[in-house]
Structure 1
Amino acid sequence: MVRIGYTMMTEQADPRSLVEHVVGAEWAGFDFAVCSDHYFPWLASQGHSPHAWTVLGAAAQATERIPLMTYVTCPTFRYHPAVVAQQAATLALLSDGRFRLGLGAGENLNEHVVGGGWPPADVRHQRLEEAVEIIRELFAGGYVNHRGEHFTVESAKLWDRPDRPPPIGIAVSGRQSCELAGRLADLLIATEPRPELVRDFQRAGGQGKPCVGQLPLSYDTDPDAARKRAHDQFRWFAGGWKVNSELPGPSSFEAATQFVRQEDVAASIPCGNRVDAVIEAVRPFADAGFTEVALVQIGGDQQAPYLDWARDELLPALREALP
């Protein structure tokens, strides 16, 4: 069965609401939850961007069973990998082993704030590979000294760490990142249901490992309101990852998406309350070999009705349709 997850979208809700939402997701019966890690929202209309790790710590205490995951953290600019390792170990303890560490090469939108510049993708992947090596070494225990091409670690040690380190996922968008994930990750993370991503990951060493996708939707009993909301807050999604990773701020996304129409957004994002439309949007992920799909309900103030619908209609239908 494809496991269905809930997304804590930090760009569209305040921290208290995010914790309330994931408690509701646990009640609704979602199999897991993921949390975005941003410094800025994609678009100003989303209106939020609290610190993801603080929110996750509160979520770990407020929930009992639902697994948690960063989707995703960049451990190479805004955070040093030694700090990410400490954060992940602490959250694994707070959640009693329910945490998975999702990592990625990042977006200029969030990482430019520390003034380190924004190198090309191949350099970002080199930095990510070195960061993962540091994090895994710290998870293993003992003191770590590292003097690499991109990072230095001086006598670092995790004094509080779980007996079993949290699994590490790596976000992919092309062959280079899939090969990196296949060698270094415990699971694959992607936002597009492209079969070649799973194949390249498996060929590089990811055979038998989980593959986690993500799908936005805009639930509303009024389809017109759903389309309007999706266009207002999620039209950035149409840019594709190669564009989205390069733009530096919400105003850039506003300009880049000024000609995207409501019908363009609705063509790729299920809008309304048709369960069959969501099933057909999730199905390509299942067909491509993804084992998990995290759903994103667009609109921070629309989570309560969505969670009711998910519990009563959507999740039972997905589990029946996608065994």
Structure 2
Amino acid sequence: MKHFMRMVVQVWFYFYCVCVWRFLKFILRKLTGRCELQRICYNNKPGAGRSLKIETSLKASKNKLLQTAVTVHPDAIEKTIEDIMALKNVNVDTNPQLSVSLQACLLQIVGYRNLTLEVERLRREAYDADNNQHEEMLHQLWKLLKPGVPLEARISKQWCEIGFQGDDPKTDFRGMGLLGLCNLVYFAEKENASALQILSDSLQPKSRDVGKDDFSKTSKLEWEMKKFDKSIGYSFAIVGINITDLAYNLLISGALKTHLYNVAPESPTLHHFQQTFCFLMQEFHKFWIEEDPLDIMEFNRVRTKFYKRILKQLQNTDMALCPHFAASEGLVNL
């Protein structure tokens, strides 16, 4: 009975809030002479703050035209905006800025949805050793990370030198599919100096304190081995695939909208997603060093802590993660 009453109260509160909100929107429309979409576009600067509010407003609408506006084909955006303007009785001649602002918002909203579909398609595409394109990408990754070092064989322990677990990298792509490989190649190509430095760091030994008692009981050679018996880092490629999973989860959950709406004046693309991956790789490497874990067994703890930090940053609607991009203030005022 107690649970039933709680459910009744929650349902009543929901409908109460909906009714109050619709009443407030009606009052604001009468007082300002502007519909909700106009108020959002005119009172918010370009970027995530504005696009997120437009998206919420459209999805919450009772009108089917407005509800489906967030899922239209990019080529149909202009026609959709014309229909919205007509539905809201907005004069295009006296309100030219509204259609321009709505177009910018819808390009971002629809583009984000299409980006998630593209990323999901890559994730679901399994690595195929019989696919020449897949094999070429894998060999390109080797050449970018090990310049001047020939790969002795396709199946080789050499792959461990760039952070794969075994002698055949294809087994490591099972979780993220081709998306993991695409991101690694993009990072190694576009941020080559950074990728090479991180790879080098991940292979460096990690010094630890050895007491005098330990030193007295061991030879000089054994002491040197004890002093540098742990790696500073991790398996580069495996962590890259893991960070791909992290970026994928941020994208699918919608958390990455804040960043992408602030850095992509129009439609977010795979290019934006992969640059975000590059940023996350660089930031995770710095975070890993700051955390100073004892060994790789602490990876999940460090990753979880890093993920929470990124999520917290993305709660700020002005946040643009990548330093390569300007924040929303730098966007064209569409």
Higher strand share: 1
After TM superposition, the score normalised by the length of structure 1 is 0.21
After TM superposition, the score normalised by the length of structure 2 is 0.20
Higher helix share: 2
